[in-house]
Amino acid sequence: MSDEKTSNAMWGGRFAAGPDAIMEAINASIGFDKRMARQDIEGSRAHAAMLAKQGIITDSDAQAIREGLLTVLSEIESGDFEFSTALEDIHMNVESRLKEIIGEPAGRLHTGRSRNDQVATDFKLWVRDQLDAAISGLNALIDVLLDQAEAGADLVMPGFTHLQTAQPVTWGHHMMAYVEMFARDKSRMSDARVRMNECPLGAVALAGTSFPIDREMTGASLGFDRPSANSLDAVSDRDFALEFLSVASICATHLSRFAEELVIWSSAQFRFVTLSDRFSTGSSIMPQKKNPDAAELIRAKVGRINGSLVGLLTVMKGLPLAYSKDMQEDKEQVFDAADSLMLAMAAMEGMIADMVPNKASLESAAASGFSTATDLADWLVRALDMPFRDAHHVTGALVKLAEDAGIDLPDLSLEQLQSVCADIKPEVYKILGVYNSVASRASYGGTAPAQVRAQIARWRKETG
């Protein structure tokens, strides 16, 4: 049977001729929605079982449908299935092939449903699976960050604000900052999964159905918490796709921020870390170069993911209820964003697992730039009962003195220190070293090694 005749047969008697080439090209979605084949067949098998239980179709027809669908899935997964653009989408392709396999019972499968609730269900199942995969990816990412934090809980490095040296921190503390960020991403994904877990199947085109279907049964068999409560909303809703893109964009932003740090840290000017050859490339003409290409590509992925979010928001913003063909444009955006996010997470996990911090460079940088100035101001407040604003002024004067002399604060003599503040005593030198500085930051959530280890232990316990 030709594609045109097949298309006509699937549509019934409404149209006398099949679509021409342009209409076929703009209307067809099989080129991308075939990725939902497993979800489509899973939903159809659940629907057939429900129809039989409710006496809407016979048990024998339901059994033939369910077994035939497994055959179709096997053909798709083995690469033996021939997809047809004339049949538009994954739903029509599967149903057409099912009819070739089992004959007349295949025509009963679509009883009590529409492609509108069918695609909403398939897409929700796909996004839900993707959220589960992303959560697993984040768990793996958090694990390697915890390993890095544990190994470097005592290692000092500069903490920055405005990319200027601010105060010494520990390597472990810096790694744990990203644990917190990616854990929030995981929480957002878990929240989104709970919110989206309502089953659209049974909403049919937009108004429900006169058939005595059991929506609780189909929803439960597909792992949904409940059926959607409004049929119009069920087929109109793409909030779950938008929310997935939203949380993916935030997560990608976190990945990009860390990628930017890795680009900076691995440069010849910083030498804070060495990235493995697995995630770096060389230059075609400069033999000395080792480029952090994986980090740079992760940094770029957020542009694609953000673009997908803006694209789908724009598609959805003017659509009346219920279904409009515009909504066919949702899947490519989500598929591309999901692929980009999963690849970026996997690359980041690999880079973090392999990267080696350069202890000497980190220590040297931590001690530079008058990084213990705040410690000195705090000591003046504690030891001399000086108002903080006065201590800030005194410390600023000492920084200028050291800067003019071309030395750092710990290198100032006691005489030089006392030339600005006569009450300064020799014990001030105990707080001017970077290791003393980080050890003193023992407030909850601070950079002190003891605090870092406590946070690592907490996360190890929570992540199991």
Kindly list the catalytic residues.
Answer: 162, 283
Residue 212 neighbours by CB distance under 10 Å: 10
Residue type, 296: E
Sign of CA dihedral 136, 137, 141, 147: positive
Kindly give, in sequence order, each residue whose CB lies less than 8 Å from that of residue 287, ignoring residues fewer than 6 positions away.
none
CB 212 within 8 A of CB 58: no
